[in-house]
């Protein structure tokens, strides 16, 4: 008889902004986390200014990857100093799988990750019309959506989880000032999520947004920005925990 599907426990958090999140806070966040989760997702803005020394400080506090495998995407803060590749290399050296339009299978779950980009949502999303700089801006969001599509197309698992930094839907950024909503995500990221039947999406970036929402296709979306989780789970470990069914019958990439 085939094996019964099992459940994989996923812990997700973003916007650590190390060292703004202190060594003591990181210890509380990650201490014995492997006893409560099977996979850790880090959803961008892991450093404050994208400096390699910030990434090294964070890496010292991450869980042992032999006990708790971790996957990450970069956020806009990782790009501030133009050293995002070195930051990614430092995290990779600690055993973190850094996704950028790429996919991985961990414990029978398929994961696809991109940073994402901004541009707004729905009918009010910025369109590629007018000055060249605006077309370039929109093209960045389109490219990120195409990268996500490419990553999802490689997965052959029954459960697929997406991690990104920018939001793919409006509802999880509501609560932020109206003036900055278009800079917190892009609904162009939503289309591949719906088309590939994603199980769940985790993102960060919107510190004052909403904790949960759904795409137009019904896919649950979780805002896992650390400041938001601290407000949502007072007195508890500020991490979002998800349980996702894993079917080991056909794991892998194409």
Each residue's pLDDT, cut to its tens digit, for the chain (254 residues) gives 345 558 999 999 999 999 999 999 999 999 999 999 999 999 999 999 999 999 999 999 999 999 999 999 999 999 999 999 999 999 999 999 999 999 999 999 999 999 999 999 998 899 999 999 999 999 999 999 999 999 999 999 999 999 999 999 999 999 999 999 999 999 999 999 999 999 999 999 999 999 999 999 999 999 999 999 999 999 999 999 999 998 753 444 54
The answer to whether the CB of 68 falls within 8 A of the CB of 31 is no
pTM for this prediction: 0.94
Q: Is the bond leading into 19 cis (omega within 30 degrees of zero)? A: yes
The C-alpha atoms of residue 26 and residue 23 are separated, in whole angstroms, by 5
* CA 190, 241, 246, 113 torsion-angle sign: positive
Report the SS3 class of residue 3: coil
Q: What is the 3-state secondary structure (H, E, C) of the chain?
A: CCCCCEEEEEEEEECCCECCCCHHHHHHHHCCHHHCCCEEEEECCCECCCCHHHHHHHHHHCCCCCCCCEEEECCHHHHCCCCHHHHHHHHHHCCCEECCCEEEEECCEEEEECCCCCCECHHHCCCCCCCHHHHHHHHHHHHHHHHHHHHHHCECCCCEEEECCCECCCCCCECECHHHHHHCEEHHHHHHHHHCCCCEEEECCCCCCCCEEECCCCCEEEECEHHHHHHHCCCCCCCEEEEEEECCCCCCEC
Query: Which stretches of the chain are assigned E, i.e. beta strand?
Result: 6-13, 39-43, 70-73, 97-98, 102-106, 109-113, 160-163, 200-203, 212-214, 220-223, 240-246
Instruction: Map out the domains of the chain as residue ranges.
Output: 6-246
Task: Give phi and psi for 190, each to the nearest 5.
Answer: -75, -35
**Domain 6-246, CATH number (from 3.60.21.10, 3.40.50.960, 3.30.70.260, 2.40.50.320):** 3.60.21.10
Residue 253, pLDDT score = 54
Phi first, then psi, for residue 174 (nearest 5°) are -65, 135
Cα 167 to Cα 64, 110, 120, 172, 190: the distances in Å are 29, 20, 10, 7, 9
Find residue 161's DSSP bridge partners: 111, 200
Quote the CA–CA distance of 71 and 68 in Å, as a whole number: 10
**Per-residue pLDDT at 3:** 52
pLDDT at 5: 54
Tell me the two tokens of residue 210: 């909403």
The pLDDT of residue 246 is: 87
The reported pLDDT for the residue numbered 232 is 94
């Amino acid at each position: 008889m085939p094996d019964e599907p099992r459940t994989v426990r996923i812990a997700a958090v973003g916007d650590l902004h190390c060292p703004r999140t202190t060594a003591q806070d990181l210890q509380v966040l990650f201490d014995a986390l492997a006893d409560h989760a099977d996979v850790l997702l880090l959803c961008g803005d892991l450093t404050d200014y994208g400096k390699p020394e910030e990434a090294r400080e964070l890496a010292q506090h991450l869980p042992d990857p032999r006990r708790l495998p971790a996957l990450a995407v970069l956020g806009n803060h990782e790009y501030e100093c133009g050293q995002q590749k070195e930051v990614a290399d430092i995290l990779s050296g600690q055993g973190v799988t850094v996704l950028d339009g790429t996919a991985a299978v961990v414990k029978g779950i398929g994961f696809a990750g991109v940073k994402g980009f901004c541009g707004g949502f729905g009918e009010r999303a910025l369109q590629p019309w007018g000055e060249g700089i605006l077309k370039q801006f929109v093209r960045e969001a389109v490219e990120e959506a195409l990268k996500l599509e490419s990553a999802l197309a490689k997965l052959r698992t029954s459960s697929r989880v997406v991690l990104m930094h920018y939001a793919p839907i409006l509802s999880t950024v509501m609560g932020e000032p109206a003036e900055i909503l278009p800079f917190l995500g892009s609904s162009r990221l939503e289309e591949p999520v719906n088309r590939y039947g994603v199980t769940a999406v985790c993102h960060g970036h919107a510190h004052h947004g909403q904790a949960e929402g759904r795409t137009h296709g019904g896919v649950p979306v979780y805002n896992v920005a650390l400041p938001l989780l601290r407000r949502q789970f007072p007195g508890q470990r500020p991490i979002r925990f998800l349980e996702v069914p894993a079917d080991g019958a056909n794991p892998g990439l194409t």
